[in-house]
């Protein structure tokens, strides 16, 4: 028997270019938090099932202006950077890291501070419709465990990484692993602690191998992290060709692109998610396809630090796996709605070009524009595929991770696809009525 039945109109991706809409359906969720079936109004069981759920108080009945969307999946988040979101984005990346970000992350040696920030941040993610997040922590074991515990307590489906940064040439002495040996030992200790938490709480929390990026890690650290990823069969997260500076650094140090550096140290796997990639070449993309490594597109952050626009449409056409990330705090907003919109806008800028002094035919990269359906796919199905999760869709057999959203009043007749477009362009935090993870309510707007 269903544990919960939700009545309403929902939207879900059919593929990277098309969204399905189903009006006044019943979404039936079982005891495990999995969608058991969806029932159309034309189904002969519909009325009986609806009435039974109502009598047994297992029914959520949406209002006419409310809609169901899959929960969003944020593939790139720096959780400790939440206090500085929206600050100093006019600085070059290296300056921003050294003058703002590293001093802030160093504060997480204070567990009380970590508790205060992470409790607020996890709540913020859920209130924005994000049900799953792949997160960087800091170099501090206890603070990272606090992030994991807050995620479990509040119901966020979380992947948490113990950051490694041991290279004295590119990291400040006040915020650096004491040694490569310490960095690797702390990472393994964190992995074991998260596994203990999973057993104690029956949660889905997952540890993630996390070299911050090539500049911050020694060869020995990268090698050791690759070995840990294989040993424990864990996801890997890092940055890849985020900017001219980062891309150039790898070439200067290794004589190869940082994609090849990650490959050298066995950090490109089917469970790896590499953020940004604005400077990736065709050979880099081919290597990522061969390894099954996903790319986290962070469109807001890339405006400030990426020195380019990720050609999402090209990547999808050629078979690269792509999802969406907020990159708090390189991106100023944790809302994936904002990032969905920016993904579309950035693709249009890539198509048209930005230098009007050049002839139209030489200004942009034709055929680069993505649709809102594609951006929505990145934030849902794309993220789920990257993390090997059975979620991101409203469909039988998938985890019941979803959000109930209030639509805006309309002064004209709208088709269901018009409604979808308006939801994507106009939904803000205050429009998100409630959020569910595995069929359990984890957020409700007061």
What are the tens digits of pLDDT across the range 330-339?
999 999 999 9
DSSP H or E stretch at residue 162: strand 157-164
Bridge partners of residue 27, in order along the sequence: 6, 38
Tell whether 332 and 437 lie within a shared domain. no
What are the tens digits of pLDDT across the range 149-179?
999 999 999 999 999 999 999 999 999 999 9
Considering its fold, how many domains does the chain have in total?
Answer: 2
Tell whether 202 and 64 lie within a shared domain. no
Tell whether 263 and 137 lie within a shared domain. yes
Q: How far is CA 234 from the centre of its chain?
A: 17
Q: What is the mean pLDDT of the chain?
A: 97
State the pLDDT at residue 431.
Answer: 98
Tell whether 81 and 187 lie within a shared domain. yes
Domain range spanning residue 340?
73-386
What are the tens digits of pLDDT across the range 368-380?
999 999 999 999 9
C-alpha dihedral sign at 390, 393, 398, 399: positive
State the pLDDT at residue 109.
Answer: 98
Residue with tokens 């807001």: 300
Using a 10 angstrom Cβ sphere, with 0-12 exposed, 13-18 middle and 19 or more buried, the burial of residue 157 is buried
- pLDDT above 90 for 349: yes
State the pLDDT at residue 402.
Answer: 98
Tell whether 425 and 381 lie within a shared domain. no
Using a 10 angstrom Cβ sphere, with 0-12 exposed, 13-18 middle and 19 or more buried, the burial of residue 435 is buried
CB neighbour burial string for 92-102, b if at least 16 within 10 angstroms, e if fewer = ebeebbeebbb
Contact criterion met (CB below 8 Å) for 79 and 146: no
Other beta carbons within 10 angstroms of residue 328's beta carbon come to 29
State the pLDDT at residue 129.
Answer: 98
**CATH number of the domain within which 90 lies:** 3.20.20.140
Tell whether 48 and 150 lie within a shared domain. no
State the pLDDT at residue 93.
Answer: 86
CA distances (Å), origin 139, targets 95, 178, 210: 20, 10, 10
What are the tens digits of pLDDT across the range 219-277?
999 999 999 999 999 999 999 999 999 999 999 999 999 999 999 999 999 999 999 99
Other beta carbons within 10 angstroms of residue 32's beta carbon come to 11
State the pLDDT at residue 94.
Answer: 87
Tell whether 417 and 344 lie within a shared domain. no
Q: Which of residues 386, 414, 436 is at a domain's end?
A: 386
Closest CA to 295 of 259, 245, 252: 259
Provide, rounded to the nearest whole percent, the portion of the chain with pLDDT above 90. 97
Average pLDDT, integer, range 313-338: 97
Tell whether 172 and 116 lie within a shared domain. yes
Q: What band does 409 get if pLDDT is binned at 50, 70 and 90? A: confident
């Amino acid at each position: 028997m269903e544990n919960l039945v939700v009545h309403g109109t929902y939207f879900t991706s059919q593929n990277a270019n098309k969204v399905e809409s189903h009006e006044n359906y019943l979404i039936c969720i079982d005891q495990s938090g999995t969608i058991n079936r969806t029932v159309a109004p034309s189904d002969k069981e519909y009325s009986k099932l609806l009435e039974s759920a109502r009598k047994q108080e297992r029914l959520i009945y949406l209002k006419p202006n409310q809609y169901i969307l899959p929960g969003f999946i944020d593939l790139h988040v720096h959780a400790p950077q939440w206090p500085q979101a929206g600050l100093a984005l006019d600085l070059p990346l290296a300056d921003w890291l050294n003058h703002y970000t590293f001093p802030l992350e160093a504060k997480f040696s204070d567990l009380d501070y970590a508790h205060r920030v992470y409790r607020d941040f996890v709540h913020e993610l859920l209130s924005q419709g994000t049900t799953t997040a792949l997160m960087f922590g800091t170099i501090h074991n206890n603070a990272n465990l606090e992030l994991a515990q807050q995620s479990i307590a509040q119901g966020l489906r979380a992947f948490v990484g113990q950051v490694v940064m041991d290279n004295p040439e590119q990291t400040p002495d006040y915020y650096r692993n004491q040694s490569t040996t310490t960095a690797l030992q702390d990472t393994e200790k964190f992995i074991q602690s998260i596994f203990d938490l999973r057993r104690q709480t029956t949660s889905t929390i997952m540890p993630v191998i996390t070299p911050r990026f090539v500049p911050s890690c020694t060869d020995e650290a990268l090698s050791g992290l690759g070995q840990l990823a294989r040993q424990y069969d864990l996801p890997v997260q890092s940055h890849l060709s985020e900017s001219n500076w980062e891309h150039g650094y790898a070439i200067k140090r290794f004589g190869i692109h940082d994609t090849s550096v990650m490959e050298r140290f066995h950090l490109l796997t089917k469970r790896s998610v590499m953020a940004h990639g604005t400077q990736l070449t065709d050979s880099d993309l081919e290597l990522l396809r061969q390894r099954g490594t996903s790319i986290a597109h962070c469109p807001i952050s890339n405006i400030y630090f990426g020195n380019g626009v990720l050609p999402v449409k090209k990547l999808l056409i050629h078979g690269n796996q792509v999802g969406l990330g907020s990159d708090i705090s390189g991106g100023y907003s944790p809302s994936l709605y904002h990032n969905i919109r920016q993904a579309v806008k950035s693709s249009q800028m890539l198509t048209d070009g930005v230098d009007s002094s050049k002839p139209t035919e030489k200004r942009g990269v034709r055929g680069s524009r993505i649709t809102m359906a594609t951006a929505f796919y990145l934030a849902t199905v794309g993220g789920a595929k990257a993390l090997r999760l059975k979620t991101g869709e409203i469909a039988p057999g998938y985890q019941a991770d979803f959000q109930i959203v209030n639509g805006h009043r309309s002064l004209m007749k709208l088709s269901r696809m018009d409604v979808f477009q308006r939801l994507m362009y106009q939904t803000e935090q205050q429009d998100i009525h409630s959020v569910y993870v595995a069929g359990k309510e984890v957020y409700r707007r007061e």
